[in-house]
Amino acid sequence: MREIAEGVYAISWQEADGATVVHVDDFTHGRSMAFFTASDQTFYRMQGPLTELAGPDA
């Protein structure tokens, strides 16, 4: 994980089957973008809101 701007993080990993995932999560504005290449080389772009979950003390 790497902070690329204040409150914005890039996160990436590769699955055991070769699929790759990259997230760009903007915690300041509550948005997430994800880029996913499946093991069959199908490419996906997704985006949506980030929602804060209440903790156990909420």
47 pLDDT exceeds 80? yes
Cα angle value 33/16/44 (rounded, 5°): 30
Give the closest residue to 25 by CA, choosing from 15, 46, 35, 11.
Answer: 11
**pTM of the full structure:** 0.80
Q: What is the mean pLDDT of the chain?
A: 94
Domain boundaries, the chain: 2-49
- Tell me, letter by letter, the H, E, C secondary structure of 1-58: CEEEECCEEEEEEECCCCCEEEEEEECCCCEEEEEEECCCCCEEEEEEECCCCCCCCC
Give the closest residue to 18 by CA, choosing from 38, 35, 36.
Answer: 38
